[in-house]
Structure 1
Amino acid sequence: MDDGVYVGNAGKDATANRGWLLGHFMEQGDPRHSDAVEVKWGVHPRGEQRAQWVQGEVRTALLVLITGRFRMEFPGRSVLLERQGDYVVWGQGVDHSWFAEEDSVVMTLRWPSVPGYAVT
């Protein structure tokens, strides 16, 4: 990693930070440290759901379905992602939650990477 290049495996590396691969929470000097964006590799077994709704979100997010069937919940709206590559984008202030209808893998990008937020 001395050359500024990091090579890893999302499935293995994600376990170290509850799925997050890139963001402000990585050590300074690590190529995965970023104040601009956060990247998460989410592996969710069928039936798993977010314990609580996210409220007062201050970031914008993009979630892309890699495999499975995954439902995003927003106030007054439910979005089902069922084909590889299906995605949803939501902005600042949009409350949300999720539910894995089947074993699912999703990639989430959030920006900016905001210090003070827990790695969740």
Structure 2
Amino acid sequence: MIYVGKADVDAPPERGWLIGHFMPAGDARHSSDVEIKWGRHPAGERRGEWARNERRTAVLVLISGRFHMEFPERTVVLAEPGDYVLWGVGDDHSWFAEQASVVLTCRWPSLPGYAVPYSGAS
């Protein structure tokens, strides 16, 4: 299957996620192996709650803006395009968009049960 799309069009209905278990079976974007997100976050937006008991590995790459990945022991500030952070199983985390930011996130495997509401811009 070949699928051609635009991240800014395809991502919003799934809160930024383009590929993962949550896409309909038979869709080229359905995968239980990986999830990919095109995240556009306005300045001040924060994850609604911490992701706890993480069972996946993930990498987040900054495309533009200034973005904070928060972990219990430290905060990683992504400030230049191409800055990235990788975390794994057991790494509780949250995030905060200091400036309007675009990020690309890949995480694996694709598992249900992690969606939380955004708290929105502060």
Answer yes or no: same fold by TM over 0.5: yes
Which of 104, 114, 117 lines up with 2:113 in the alignment? 117
- Give per-residue Cα distances to partners, 1:44-73, cap 9 Å, x unaligned: 001111121111111000000000000100
Amino acid at match of 1:107: L
- Structural RMSD (CA): 1.0
Amino acid at match of 2:40: V
Q: Would the aligned equivalents of 1:41 and 1:106 in 2 still touch at CA under 8 Å?
A: yes
The equivalent of 1:16 in structure 2 is: 13
Matched, 1:98 2:95: yes
Tell me by how many angstroms 1:119 deviates. Answer: 4.4
* 3-state SS in 2 of match to 1:31: coil
Q: 5+ residue gaps in structure 2?
A: 117-122
Q: 5+ residue gaps in structure 1?
A: none
- Give per-residue Cα distances to partners, 1:18-62, cap 9 Å, x unaligned: 110001111111111111100011110011111211111110000
- The percent identity for this pair of structures is 60
Distance in 2 between residues matched to 1:47 and 1:63, nearest whole Å: 18
The equivalent of 2:119 in structure 1 is: none
Matched, 1:51 2:71: no
* 3-state SS in 1 of match to 2:46: coil
Distance in 1 between residues matched to 2:18 and 2:81, nearest whole Å: 21
* 3-state SS in 2 of match to 1:62: strand
